[in-house]
Structure 1
């Protein structure tokens, strides 16, 4: 497979009301071989705007002490969200992130990561 950032096109049909679901290929790096996740980009965007935007910015560009998310591979984002959800201490924002992520399902996490990697850097 190629090293593209998006494995499949996001397809949304206004006529049948389907969600935009895409296979998102993680942006490769030295640690990540580039596995794929199934993500509902529209659901991820809604969740991001509701839960993440205030701290990480509208386009995941980072705000103040809250890091930039755009540009990270999907696998990295999934891993971090799962670590926060499990209560692992990752830095000074852990208490806030643990509270935000504790109710996220695996699919919610995939959707969020899919939405973030779909954003332009």
Structure 2
């Protein structure tokens, strides 16, 4: 294994500087394109989750109206609205999700302390 590494280092020393620079640049371009793909995947997943939350909220509101109209039971408390991406964080949805999670944990902690 050590001999193989030494051979690679030796070959790198013998290659021209321009070739090494081009390989390094290609490596950075590949890493950056992977980073962009990952962020796009995350954004798409967040948008999908937001659509699912919106759909569930709509279904819940429809059920609530149906129950109220039929007067089967009354709902005494309205559930908390679904978490949404705050308007100031639309440029960075992943940061918005992290902030929402932090806010939820802090709220939960306060509720436990009050009990």
TM-score normalised according to structure 2 size: 0.28
TM-score normalised according to structure 1 size: 0.27
**Greater helix share, structure number:** 2
**Greater strand share, structure number:** 1
Higher relative contact order (CA 8 A, sep 6+): 1
Select the structure of larger CA radius of gyration.
Answer: 2
